Structure 1
Amino acid sequence: MEISFDTYHQDKSVYYFANEPLNIQSEYLNLYLQKGIEEMGSKLNIVDLLVTTAQEITFTMFSKYFEGNEKMVKITARKKFVEDYYAHCGFGRINLTSIQPKGGYIEAVSEHFAMAWKRHFGLRPENQPGVSYFTLGFLCGAVEAIFDIVPGSFRGKQILCLSKGHGVCKFEIYRGLKRKINKSPGKGKLQHKVGEIEDVFVPNGSNVIEAINGLNLSGADSKKGLIDQFDMTLTKQFSNYMAMIEIKLLMQAKKRLGPQGIRIIKTFLEKLGEENTYFTVGKMLNSDYWQEYVESVVGKNPESRLYACLDVFTAFGCGRWQLVKMSTGQFKVSVLNNPETNSFLQLVGNTKSPLNFYAGGLMMGLANLLDKGAKTGNGVDLNFVNKLKKAGHHFEYVFEKSRMVGSEIDTLIVSRT
């Protein structure tokens, strides 16, 4: 039985499965998002942010897919599908054979977050919790959907973690005190109508997007259930996972982090976007694949190079990113159907100011990366990222227009300071 785990919708430049938007995320974003939250300490509710969010989305998605699906009536079929889906997205390999309606134990012989953590930071101390927050929430939500149990019925804890040198990641999933959890916003508020925008030049055509979409970005054929591309490990992550965490961070900010809470979270998200660009786009531009299949179709002028990098975000399922205008020390970018914005609008509606701090950080990072010289000759590693971080960014962004405040389109202007 051949099953399509997701489909890339070219009209919206997003991957979808069971009404849930997905985009490709690097190990850097996955790791440093949760590391940054951990470093804010007990002031933030890390379980609600990282575990419950994954549980909310996973239950919503799988329950929608299983409902009325004649091929997914049997519990064994549902378990197998969840195992395969987890691997397809590059999260690793899990075994759900022994899990029951009352709960039980689940092992992951490979797990993206724990393995990446060990590569980046070395062994995690035994007295600290495991790092597989996302997987723990994923498993709770998946078990609820498999057995058609009310969401919020299950809780869990991580017993073993590959990041600590254990042979597997092991989780205990159990029925706890029932709590009400939210549904995923799904596709969110899609952008159906767009007002007038300036003419967009497309120097590279759709070649860059096609080159990336042509790759087998799935962990289903990997023994470890991982997606190894461009000298890094990728995942097909729920777009709403990042978006919902951002909203929860902002909601907790003032109460838990004090008067400067919003500014702290804003700075954190901007830096996360900036540094992720250094790592992810830097890795891609210096990869053998880029040299062989992409470089030849990218023009030599700065506009073409910038446009090619924006096409990476489009190909990764982050909406349609387009270069609208470029001049010395400044460029303007429009973003259509950014799943992050779609989610924000569904969750909180219009706001007084734009909330896309992470997207702004991506653009600051991209401008700084290209300005400093993305080609290293020696590849991209954490030393490369840290060097750019320490040098500081020399570009700032503003939202000229924002759907969050009522505009029909998101438009960012990035300028040299």
Structure 2
Amino acid sequence: MKLDSMLSGMPVKARVKVEAAVDNLSVVLQMRNPRVLTSMAPSAMRGLVLKQGKNGSSVQMKSDHPVQFDFDYKMDFPEMRRLYQRAVENQWNADKDLPWETDVDPVNPEVPIISNDFMTPEALRSLPVKLTEQQRYDLNYHIACWMLSQFMHGEQGALYASAQVTESVGWMEGKLFGGSQVMDEARHLEVFCRYLTDKLGKRYEINDNLFVILDDLLTDARWDFKFLGMQIMVEGLALGAFRTIHNMSEEPLLKQMLKYVIRDEARHVHYGVLALKKHFTDSLSEVERREREDWAFEVAVLMRNRFMAHEIFEEWFEGTISRQAWNQLISTSPAMLQFRRNMFCRLIPNLDFIGLMSDRIRPHYARFGMLDYLQGKNASQLTEGEMMADLH
């Protein structure tokens, strides 16, 4: 029996609570690997049940990662050294290099922050709530604020994770590049916060599922798990989202800002694949490699299925349509479909390159249609020009 039928006749407030609880439970139950479920359970409890991402102005996350102080100062990773040199050469200044004087009208349909077809008019007309044209523009504005807010929260997580990994990574060139990435992430956090505050005038709290992933990464003591999660998974998610929004936006300041950020993020993913391929090849047992392979798959599915903008749903439609109906609407929107394509065309080749796409795990990805992206180029094969070529 469908959930909607089971809950029919229930008071609205009670129904809303049950729908949210069932939806959160489904996040946990979709993790079929018991070891991954066990490792992520504390973060899921903090994010989905205790709502620690929404219960105050800050949250404490305890992390016991090791710090490796290198007294050899050996430089024997030339490809990573070249990547560090590129990072130094491509630093940019948010104050000087972005046209902050640009006038931004966040509800102007002629210069949309994101495409007015983020959700098609046909899909919106299918809702029991009929939106006026102005309400559709307002909804689009709130969705843009929600997405950019999640970018901002993700960049704060990336700032801390990159600092932690810089302390832990064993290559001196990795520490040098890591220092440049910390600066990049601080700048990204700065520009998203500034754009939301000065140009859009609205910020959203962190999405519960994003909180779970970031909490899991920041509290894990193993540097390569932090690295895998942030450099490959979360940065892959970010690249897909940034590219989607860039190509759906007509707002010139946002488009220029995203170009700079995308160029930085491409270097970060390249750093991740170089370091993890070497580490997974030279330093891990087969059991340890399989553990990381299983974790990466579960997080890939979580990223594919769970960023449903429930904060928008709660603000606009809660009590009017079911959470299931909203999930269907947002997951089949043209923007979400494009976002998934952009994300997985980079993520899957990178996982294959670092050794986490064995014959054992491939059928699991195939169930979700992700193996279609396996033949694409990984981050080590893509030039900066190729990474920027499809931005328009």
Per the TM superposition, whether the score is higher than 0.5 is no
More helix by share: 2
Report the TM-score, using the length of structure 1 for normalisation. Answer: 0.27
Q: Which has the higher contact order (CA 8 A, sep 6+)?
A: 2
More strand by share: 1
